[in-house]
Amino acid sequence: MAEYRYSRQAESDADGIAAYTIEHWNKAQAGKYLGELEAFCQQLADGHVIRRPCDDISPGLFRAKYVSHVVFYRVKLYGVRIVRILGDRQLPELHSFEDEEEDENG
């Protein structure tokens, strides 16, 4: 089965989403939203979501919309590497998409 892996930046993005959701709603809602986001990332890894390239931001980068966020990812041999998770109103041009993953293919 394919898998997804978060970059450090994506982990930080998810933490920010959780904090914002807890602050504006509650902890249960944050857990529900993040659980559903993780399930969506697994769908990306399994190839069940149409890929939208965004080479203009970074070569080999794809994007997929999830509710009020956009997941930016790269296709890897194991599945997908989630590089960033940004709010759908955030301008991607203002964010870094550098990834620290050592093995570019795997």
Indicate the number of domains in the chain: 1
Count of other CB atoms within 10 angstroms of residue 94: 7
Element (H, E) at 64: strand 62-66
Q: Does residue 48 lie in a domain region?
A: yes
Residue 24: CATH number of its domain: 3.30.2310.20
Q: What is the pLDDT of residue 1?
A: 84
Does 99 fall in a domain? Answer: no
43 inside domain? yes
Residue 102, in any domain of the structure: no
- The predicted structure's pLDDT at residue 46: 97
Q: Low-confidence residues of the chain, pLDDT below 50? A: 104-105
pLDDT value at position 74? 96
Residue 94: the pLDDT is: 67
What range does the domain containing 77 cover?
A: 3-88
Residue 95 lies in a domain: no
Residues 6+ apart with CB under 8 A from 3: 42, 45, 78, 79
Q: For residues 55 and 74, what is the distance between their CA atoms, to the nearest angstrom?
A: 11
34 in any annotated domain: yes
